[in-house]
Chains A and B, each alone.
Chain A
Amino acid sequence: MMQLVLAVTAVVLSLAAGGAIIRIARGPSLLDRVLAADVLLAIVGAALCIDMAANRHLNNLMLLVAVSLIGFVGSVTVARFVADRREKTRES
């Protein structure tokens, strides 16, 4: 049964990653791309979780926390700077 679950989740996560990458490629604004990159990181975290659950090990747990930390820092930083830049271009 675990093989079936692995196959199903692999297909589903691949489709999801493809959708997120399409949104990164043609997102109209930078914030859309940041959001899609965040979703892509969440999908990577989901894949790490499923690998751990299917193979019954905990090697990726720190990597999972690190991935979510990177997503947090990245999106906050980019949101901060996009606000600043757009503010200046609108004032001038």
Chain B
Amino acid sequence: MNPETFSGDSVIDAVSAVFMVVGALMSLAAAVGLLRFPDLMTRMHAATKPQVLGLFLLLFALGLQMRTWWVWPVLVVAWIFQLLTVPVSAHMVGRAGYRTKHLHPELLSTDELEAVVQQAAGKRGFTDDDGDEATAGR
């Protein structure tokens, strides 16, 4: 076999091409999940795929394509920034969804927050804004 066709360059190209296609498929998986899942919580599960794993794969492909070392810290910073912000926004959306009853309780296999809500409601009289103690200082 011609050594030129099997050099490290083409191997790097192939790996980054595979990563790009798989990273794009993560977005498609998120869209399919958004369309087919029944309620907000399950859709949130699907929506995380392109935000973390998809971005990781695409940034990895970008770093492989650039063929330089100095881009890797920049890409790692971009990915870590995404890792820091995605859980916060998912927490806020999930909390708002739980408190406004945007979920099907019969679909949940376990609801650990239910007991906490009941306990807080019993302790303080009924106000139904159980989560506001954590944010009252803002």
**Interface residues, chain A, CB within 8 Å of chain B?**
1-2, 5, 8-9, 12-13, 15-20, 22-23, 29, 31-32, 34-36, 38-39, 42-43, 45-46, 49-50, 52-54, 56, 58, 61, 64-65, 68-69, 71-72, 75-76, 79-80, 82-83, 86-87, 90-91
Contact = CB atoms under 8 A, between A and B. Distances in A.
Interface residues of B, number: 52
Interface in B20-76: 20-21, 23-28, 30-32, 34-35, 40, 43-44, 47, 50-51, 54-55, 58-59, 61-62, 64-66, 71, 74-75
Contacts of A64: 78
B93 A5 contact: no
Contacts of A83: 95-96, 99-100
Contacts of A18: 31
A31 B14 CA distance: 39
A17 B27 CA distance: 8
Interface of B: 13-14, 16-17, 20-21, 23-28, 30-32, 34-35, 40, 43-44, 47, 50-51, 54-55, 58-59, 61-62, 64-66, 71, 74-75, 78, 81-82, 85-86, 88-89, 92-93, 95-97, 99-100, 102, 128-129
B57 to A, nearest CB: 9
B40 A79 contact: no
A58 B85 CA distance: 22
Contacts of B51: 38-39, 42
A2 B55 contact: no
Contacts, number: 171
A92 B113 CA distance: 24
Interface of A is mostly: helix
A56 B50 CA distance: 21
A75 B78 contact: no
B16 to A, nearest CB: 6
Contact of B25 (A12, A71, A80, A87): A12
